[in-house]
A and B are shown apart, each in its own frame.
Chain A
Amino acid sequence: DSGVTQTPKHLITATGQRVTLRCSPRSGDLSVYWYQQSLDQGLQFLIQYYNGEERAKGNILERFSAQQFPDLHSELNLSSLELGDSALYFCASSLDARVEDEQYFGPGTRLTVT
């Protein structure tokens, strides 16, 4: 158990809908990262937050947004969902802002868009 929690574990929704994925980092970790793992794109970095502020951005679509709250939990919002958004979404956390620091991954949220 990495100490990172993600809810829900599974999510099935229809195209055009909006969903919110939630992540609680390990106690004491200030950075939260979001990743998308799909069969065609592999594992891709989406976005990093550090202590409430956006720190780095990767291949995140404009239809996706994220935020980190004062209690350091984070949410990833996915809107106008398409079939291609079906994937495993991981949250990871680390102690500090450095990407080189060991990242602890949550169990993931499996999103299926039908």
Chain B
Amino acid sequence: AQKITQTQPGMFVQEKEAVTLDCTYDTSDPSYGLFWYKQPSSGEMIFLIYQGSYDQQNATEGRYSLNFQKARKSANLVISASQLGDSAMYFCATVHSQKLVFGQGTRLTINP
């Protein structure tokens, strides 16, 4: 069964520091994709970044990058130069059997 694990329930980081949010996955699918979503306190889910398992380069979108290590089955999200507005829940997800499967999330708090 597909499984996504986010081991950090909460993280506290100083503003302007870089932060890494961990995500490991368990899959037997030969081809798969990893997603990261952000959920601010207002509740909406915001797509951040996507990495396909066959992509050669790590995905980047502005201050977000995905540290994809296939052998370790990890897809960590790196946020550079964190800002107060980055405080939110962050969810890692992957596709399994035609459905998006989410991890339990990490609550990130950026301190001024």
Q: Are B44 and A106 in contact (CB under 8 A)?
A: yes
Q: Are B47 and A102 in contact (CB under 8 A)?
A: yes
By size class, the interface of chain B is 20 to 34
By size class, the interface of chain A is 20 to 34
B68 lies within 8 A of chain A by Cβ: no
The one of A42, A55, A100, A107 in contact with B95, judged by C-beta atoms closer than 8 angstroms, is: A100
Interface of chain B residues 37 through 63 with chain A (CB within 8 A): 37, 42-47, 50, 52
B101 lies within 8 A of chain A by Cβ: yes
A20 lies within 8 A of chain B by Cβ: no
A106–B95 Cα distance when bound, in Å, is 20
Known contacts A99-B99, A99-B100, A100-B33; can you find 6 more A-B pairs with CB under 8 A?
A: A2-B44, A43-B105, A56-B98, A102-B50, A105-B47, A107-B43
Chain A interface (Cβ < 8 Å from any Cβ of B): 2, 33, 35, 42-45, 48, 55-56, 58, 88, 90, 92, 99-100, 102-108, 110
